Amino acid sequence: MRFIILFLFPILCFSQTDSIFIRKIYDEALLRGKAYEDLRQLCKDIGPRLSGSSEAQMAVEWSEQKMKSYGFDKVYLQEINVPHWERGTKETAWLRTNRGELTKLNILALGGSIGTDGILTSEAVEFKSLDQLKEAKRSQVEGKIVFLNQPMDAAQIQTFKAYGLCYGIRGNGAVEASKLGAKAVVIRSLGLPTDHNPHTGSMHYEENVEKIPAGALSTQDADLLSNALKNGKIELILEMDCRSYPDAVSYNVIAEITGSKFPNEIITFGGHLDSWDTGEGAHDDGAGVIHCLEALRILKELKYKPEHTLRVVFFMNEENGNMGGKSYATWVKEKGEKHIAALESDRGGFSPRGFGCDGTDAQVKFLQSLAPNFTSYDLHVFEKGYGGVDIGPLKESFPGIPLFGFIPDSQRYFDFHHAPSDVFENVNKRELELGAAAIASFVYLLDLQIK
């Protein structure tokens, strides 16, 4: 593949022509941009977009029509099958002291959880981490509701590292609690602020381990419960009506500008169209799909003729299965396409900081060679890193392909991640536009430098 030659011999990619064109990209995004209004429509006219829901289907139809309105060379759908889980009636929870005093708690079921089959009441037992739970004796847990109260580490400067360090309580808490005979598990939400918004997210079960209900308390209520447990026995009262259904048909939504020299060589960039069913999926990942749509629109508006085919993909089902990403990688390989690079935006709509590269040392050096083009735009992070969940499966279909991840500022992301507060009003217009301009500029340079 030709991109291997480039990445073995990276060059400094800075010219007057590039500088002028990138300035035009930023002017278009900041002065005549469509990103903020497009995100408003996705969030307000469609709403939350959980895979298998009617809102997810409406989001597919909205996306297809929006792409067609921008006059791209091709707009089409890729049919896929996705999991279908529904939250049902709003969850409720209370704590009850040994004196009979009741306090209502803010709780959300974790994605994929079973319901409680009516009201479930049992004594709560607290653990500070998943490892602490694993070390517990069955007699400490059996018949109780496990409360996993591990906060995100606020000392971590990069908040995604803090998220990764405590992800296990959400992903594996139900399995480990069930092994010890627990009736249910509730976790401290994976969020940095102390507030009343619970954060949902995916969890999983294992074969031959009994399924138990799993929910997330707001960080504020997790503190309340923890403090109450210091004063004596506490009962938790839960009701969750969630359930799973057979897989549903859905779609990845795709738009292209055909390459003028190498039409069968594809640069994919995109994000995920689905979201959790709380909030509006504004930062996760409405901002990401709109970043990439706007980037392609800007390049077309500026009459840029790419050498390679530029393809934007709105992936479906990143949140609870990644069937969009997996199906796409298999599908394009079976079609005999040649994929030379991919980029994902799935870290929110905050101020751009740079790009990461999931690739070889030579590919990382190539990324770093692009940095001078962005000095005037306050981007400074060009490093080895992570591409994204949706584009990750392309590594298996196209060994050696470099995957790039757009990196915005992360400090506020976990204020909103998977929470009811992830709404359009919490996305800043200028920050969103700067992100779209950064991605358009990066794709432009990537297209030119692959020889």
Residues with catalytic function: 318
Instruction: Yes or no: say if 252 and 315 are a contact pair by the CB < 8 Å rule.
Output: yes
CB within 8 A of 358, min separation 6: which ones?
Answer: 384, 385, 386, 387, 392, 395, 402, 403, 404, 405
Percent helix, strand, coil in the chain, to 5, is: 40, 25, 35
Q: Burial, 336: exposed, middle or buried (Cβ in 10 Å; 0-12, 13-18, 19+)?
A: exposed
Task: Identify the residue whose tokens are 């009003």.
Answer: 425
H/E element, 264: strand 262-272
Under 8 Å CB-to-CB from 12, ≥6 apart: which residues?
369, 372
Q: Which amino acid is at 355?
A: F
d(CA 449, CA 402): 13
User: Please, what is the Cα angle at 347 between 345 and 351, to 5 degrees?
Assistant: 95
Asked whether the beta carbons of 236 and 112 are under 8 A apart, the reply is no
Radius of gyration of the chain (CA): 23
Token duo for residue 67: 């792409």
Both tokens of residue 333? Answer: 């390989």
Contact between 66 and 314 (Cβ < 8 Å):
no
Question: Which runs of consecutive H residues, i.e. helices, occur in 157-206?
Answer: 159-171, 173-179
Q: What CA–CA distance (Å, rounded) separates 123 from 121? A: 7
How far apart, in whole angstroms, are the C-alpha atoms of residue 406 and residue 283? 13
Residues 6+ apart with CB under 8 A from 382: 354, 355, 357, 367, 368, 370, 371
